[in-house]
Structure 1
Amino acid sequence: MKKWVLAVLSLTLIAVLAACGTKSTTSDTNNANENTGGSPREVELKVGASPVPHAEILEAIKPQLEKEGVRLQVVQFNDYVQPNVQLFDKQLDANFFQHVPYLDVMNKERKMDLVSVGAVHLEPFGIYSQKYKKLDELPDGATVAIPNDATNGGRALLLLEKQGLIKLKDASNIEATVKDITENKKNLKFKELEAAMLPRQLPEVDIALINTNYALEAKLNPTKDALALEDKDSPYANVLVARPDNKDSEAIQKLLKALQSPETKKFIEDKYQGAIIPAF
């Protein structure tokens, strides 16, 4: 009888200890997940970007974000469509490659609702040539290559108008097309191409109007090689873009803060020497 009582007490003690051990383990796991003390729990952000300068800027801010508990994965794209499509489909958490006028057109055309979170930098649009040193050297009937998307094509035409080469129906229409040209004294011939192809077409045309990110990829220096550049007060600042469901999240706001930090401003100014201009 005495042995039986001792056996029951032993089993009860083992059960109690096991229960305490389980409770302790669960408590430790919860504390690890909540991470209430010490450094913040790490969150991963997957951000789509053009290789230059956007991906370079994102790579530069990785150390800042790591201190804030954000691990940045940069996915590079060589087109202007997929970064928005994949963001909308939640394959990306954000993207960084475009200006608001382009975003507005994409949202309308693709029935998306992506939103700008904040401006980061301006890339002055430029006119480039491998054949001429000045715009007034352009011959009659010269071939001009411009982007084939609505906003960047319109942006190119507005720059040509500002340089006195053409006149448009509405000088404020950022979606102007070649059909909106009302005066073309040099009888310029327009070749509309995908923006990424424009640097490669320089040997085949007289001038090409190229987005600065693609100019930099092609080793062109906008401040030295462009025959003309947009003014620094251009409205085409490149922005960080997210979705309505995550734009206010802590991780996205930390990303924006890092992109608009004094360290990032210095990086842009030092690395790009005026070809890229901070917009904050």
Structure 2
Amino acid sequence: MAHISQLYIYPVKSLGAISLQQSEVTSRGLRYDRRWMLIDEKNRFLSQRKYPQMSLFHLILQENGIKVTYQPTGQHIIIPYKPQTNTVVEVDVWDSLCTGNYVSEEVDEWFSTLLNITCRLIYMTDDSLRQVDERYAGPGHITSFSDGYPILLISEASLADLNTRLTHPVSINRFRPNIVIKGTEAYLEDCLQHFEAGGISFYGVKPCARCVMIGVDPLTANTGAEPLKTLASYRKVNNKIYFGQNLIHKGEGTISIGDELNIKQLGDAAIVKVVSVQV
């Protein structure tokens, strides 16, 4: 039976993941997911695409905020759950304009020193409503500072299939999913149009296009051509390489590891058919 096997959030866009046993699902995705984001002096967001060392920041949810530790040195800081300033800034996330509040000068200085770039941390407040792309989802669906959609889903079977094609297997963390499912065939998520879990309806709206960021090893920050090179050999359509399914949802509540998927609707795969592995 298909079920949720792993849950992840990424409170600060492009920093490390937090693994959860359960998560509250809010109107804009999993609670705390990508509500914070680092920006440079020109209000452009920072990501591992340019700064792979961002993967080396480890995050833990605490009562007084999010503890962020820079793994190479052990230095840490607490990000408060609410910003300490009222200063609002407009930012652009992949041609999607939205706003955020500066968090604090102390946090800005800490990240600027460790990343060796002048940057500031912003938080998306509840009144900042960033609409997802209406070409793929109707109006009223919002997200935080994600690349485009509130939730990303990948199956363990898809990762397992990819790893049979790689010389050096990779972990699921390369792909930064929110929901990982088990008990399906590989790439079922390509066809997953509607399912329920935890009493919430989820809808697959657009396969996730991949970039060089999945070449960053989240444990070392080393970069390489894989797994993007291998994915391109069998998951490329119209010059884009796909792995995973973007979701929107209807309803709020809690989802947990072990929750079964009640699959309501499957469609035709938008991705090229899986080819056999040549041994």
TM-score exceeds 0.5: no
> The TM-score by the shorter chain falls in which range?
under 0.3
* Higher-strand-fraction structure: 2
Larger radius of gyration: 1
Q: Report the TM-score, using the length of structure 1 for normalisation.
A: 0.23
TM-score norm. by structure 2 comes to: 0.23
Identify the structure with the greater helix proportion: 1
